[in-house]
Structure 1
Amino acid sequence: MKTFACGDVVPGCSAAFTAADDAGILGQVAAHAAADHGLPEVGPELVAAVCAHIRAA
């Protein structure tokens, strides 16, 4: 299992995600970024930042 805390990349955000793998985390983060942060597209820099903060659960 993997985990990611959005606040590690976006200060003040309390959202956290758990999935079996990085792809699962990235899918959840993309939906969250659009719905809660107004980002309709997750660019390569954001993907890299998220991947750098994904941890094993």
Structure 2
Amino acid sequence: MVAPRHILDSDFNRVHSGAALRRGYTDLHGFFERVVSAIKTGPERNFIYAYWPELDRL
């Protein structure tokens, strides 16, 4: 799970992500760094949930 650092450990995100590794970011550059890092964690297929809250404003 990739989410803004300030909400990463909220009750909702802890329940939502379960045992998944949570990666926090503070800006758009960090968002993409965390997504790329999650993609490169290994050769197996994974689901990556990446949340950018600015999309909610559209």
**TM-score by shorter chain over 0.5:** no
Q: Which has more strand, going by share of residues?
A: 1
Query: Of the two, which has the highest radius of gyration?
Result: 2
Length-normalised TM-score, structure 2: 0.34
Q: Which has more helix, going by share of residues?
A: 1
Length-normalised TM-score, structure 1: 0.35
